[in-house]
A and B are shown apart, each in its own frame.
Chain A
């Protein structure tokens, strides 16, 4: 009956160079019942490219020359024990990441013993043999996906919580590439043609850093042999992605109000921390944000929500690549002045060192718990691993936790000296028109 707690074994990570700028990362984490296998292609975030890359992820998961219809492709995925195809773009600072991945059960739980090889072949088919006609992507699929991507870009407004934060960032970073949405914009989208997209796709396969990441109950040597047998690459010079600019001294705070037909106002604040992820004070800036608004023990939650009953949600978080500290909350529109005042009061409190050793300790425990629990999720672990690749860091989870635990109260106060409010954005209800 007694089951001894076996302590977590650190994952075994192996990195192999496959070609110029193409690396295979094999991460052995045998406790999961599935494996994840993905291509991660890095591009500079630019308005000319963003919509093209987004459209490519949609076309690749629609069909290929071997599976010309959605039905054909999904029948195959069902037969591969409900393999899940994930294909989308995301934004990490000034990098736009093109993800193309599959998740599938481990062979030990299913009769199909060659599943890894079959999944590799499927990815090869989808990425390297798309459904082209002539010198471009298939026109019918292209038009369908273009229409839906335009619809998706427009429907950002449907989710007010996320949309209001995006608007705050766009306002704050109006002269920086970071303002670009991960899906680009409708103007750029409408300039794309099936053939311009095909050339672009061929270009990014040649010129981008490509990481192939495999996580799960795998044998690294076996993975390497199969990956090398399956893929071959045509490579040229690799496009360089510059480190984000993150030092922006603020002269005047920008205030922006936008009106919508809503019940609840969304108050978002954008701060510049001026502290980069490799700066010695980075972890102190992270702790600043946690003491300020990271979870139920933070100053914002305890005071603005619990004490003043002004909101249901209020939080602060750090954007690693651009060194932003973002605060969000949902409030009654008439409470704008009061809530803003209270949020800034708590900000000043942390800045002035008006927090206890206990509050800092709780913040460390909160971060430690969320980092350690990444060991228990394949997707979180991959996200953590890839974020480190993009920032050229090589912490393992324990090292990171240790370095966070070493942050002192004085360092948090020191970090606070650099953090400046840049933008206050309020998405509010339309004013009633007197009749």
Chain B
């Protein structure tokens, strides 16, 4: 059965279906577009290093999900990049904390590209030799990020916020953990997580719905089955408070960079509540930290922030946090001013006018996001990972009221769960 949803404001139609083996398919056709993008992903990322299959427990080297992502591109005969390029497609992949996603974009032959995507992800080709060879490439990827101040300040924030949760570790692991990874480790992870009920396919762009579903069905390999034993991810218990309140790293930068992180106390929410909580917090942060607010103006006029200043709320199953920051001549002064402002603000600045105005802004930004099939695809992958409904956003946004924000302000900012992360020159 194919479920069809229509959203009048967006004027878009969305189709969903789940195959007998548990693989879910989500399609948003954009017939006026030239391109098609497809995403085949597993709900397995860098957070899932410890798991059980039946009674057997695994404790994997850090960064293994990302290592596996690199190796899926290996084939015994063909060059995967070339196979796509021949069909006007471009293939890529990414790994984050909670998922590993394989994707292509193409301007011709979408069904052939989709068939190829389905095939190569289902047929890993690992040898001792090609696993060894990849270690040099991944090490250079890690080194590249080591020299990136924005990346370092971000991971240091997570490291300071969390005691045990694996989100505190770099997605790619370390040069040492990559060296320690073996072919057997990689295969064990593949067998545990690259299974139909843990995976989904998202397709957006110039495609026909039925044809797309048929292509996916036709390209399911007999080896692509759910294991008989249950796969269970093991997550350590995480205390409420932060691990350390300040973290500093020295790098060769001309202007320091800072992040503030607020570790959220929310947890274990049902998908509907999780979405509402996420949108409420995003709107709240827009009102408090946005360019139309008093705090931004104060920080900017004192030269404590510049145009790189930004803020974001992350809400995943099991953990959530608010981050804000950018370049600053004096991170400590910026931090103090923000803390002071939040303290004196309490929940009074959540005026009706500022809430209504920000809702308008979020509606406009939501519309503009639907220009980009790449954005649509990537954000659907994120939504589906959390079990959220894709078209609920506007309805939830419009239904929010003042008390939602007041409550959120208190729970997020009142408890002193904040950290300051700074990257500065020696």
Contact = CB atoms under 8 A, between A and B. Distances in A.
Interface of A: 1-6, 8-9, 31-34, 69-71, 74-75, 77-84, 103-106, 109-110, 144, 147-148, 151-152, 154-161, 260-264, 295-297, 301-302, 305-306, 308-313, 330-332, 362, 365-366, 368-370, 372-373, 375-378
B336 interface: no
Contacts of A109: 9-11, 367
B105 A373 contact: yes
B363 A376 contact: no
A305 B137 contact: yes
Given A330-B143, A375-B35, 6 more contacts: A32-B371, A74-B291, A105-B367, A151-B303, A263-B143, A369-B88
B148 interface: yes
B270 to A, nearest CB: 29
A105 B360 CA distance: 11
A305 to B, nearest CB: 6
A88 to B, nearest CB: 9
A297 B33 contact: no
Among B4, B35, B134: residue with most chain A CB under 10 A? B35
Contacts of A376: 33-35, 372-373
Contacts of B89: 369
Contacts of A365: 85-86, 88
Contact of B252 (A104, A161, A261): A261
A188 B210 CA distance: 62
Contacts of B303: 144, 147-148, 151
Q: In this complex, which of B147, B293, B371 has the most chain A Cβ atoms within 10 angstroms of its Cβ?
A: B147
B141 A312 contact: yes
A154 B254 contact: yes
Contacts of B300: 70, 144
A376 B210 CA distance: 23
Contacts of A144: 300-301, 303
Nearest to A88: B307
A83 B364 contact: yes
Contacts of A156: 254
A372 B373 CA distance: 14
Given A34-B367, A34-B368, A264-B147, A1 B140 contact: no
A314 B143 CA distance: 14
Nearest to A154: B254
Contacts of A362: 82, 85-86
Contact of A81 (B254, B306, B363): B363
Contacts of A297: 79, 81-82, 85
Contacts of A377: 371-372
Given A69-B297, A144-B300, A378-B371, A372 B107 contact: yes
B382 interface: no
A82 B360 contact: yes
Interface of B: 2, 4, 9-11, 13, 29-35, 79, 81-82, 85-86, 88-91, 105-108, 133-138, 140-141, 143-144, 146-149, 206-210, 251-255, 257, 290-294, 296-297, 300-301, 303, 306-307, 327, 329, 357-358, 360-365, 367-368, 370-373, 426
A263 B134 contact: no
Contacts of B257: 158
Given A79-B357, A109-B9, A157 B254 contact: yes
B120 to A, nearest CB: 13
19 contacts: A1-B4, A3-B209, A6-B31, A32-B371, A33-B368, A71-B293, A79-B360, A82-B361, A109-B9, A109-B11, A151-B254, A158-B257, A261-B251, A295-B81, A332-B143, A362-B82, A362-B86, A369-B89, A376-B35
Nearest to A374: B34
Contacts of A75: 292, 357
- Please give me the 9 A-B residue pairs with the lowest Cβ-Cβ distance, nearest first: A309-B136, A81-B364, A82-B364, A82-B361, A74-B292, A296-B81, A264-B143, A261-B252, A312-B141
Contacts of A105: 363-364, 367-368
B107 A373 contact: yes
B12 to A, nearest CB: 9
Contacts of A154: 254-255
Nearest to A72: B292
A6 B255 CA distance: 50
A368 B86 CA distance: 11
Given A71-B292, A82-B365, A158-B257, A33 B34 contact: no
B254 A155 contact: yes
B306 A151 contact: yes
Nearest to A216: B371
Nearest to B365: A82
A372 to B, nearest CB: 4
B363 A82 contact: yes
A9 B33 CA distance: 10
A6 B205 CA distance: 11
B88 A309 contact: no
Nearest to A430: B252
Nearest to A4: B31
B147 A31 contact: no
B351 to A, nearest CB: 12
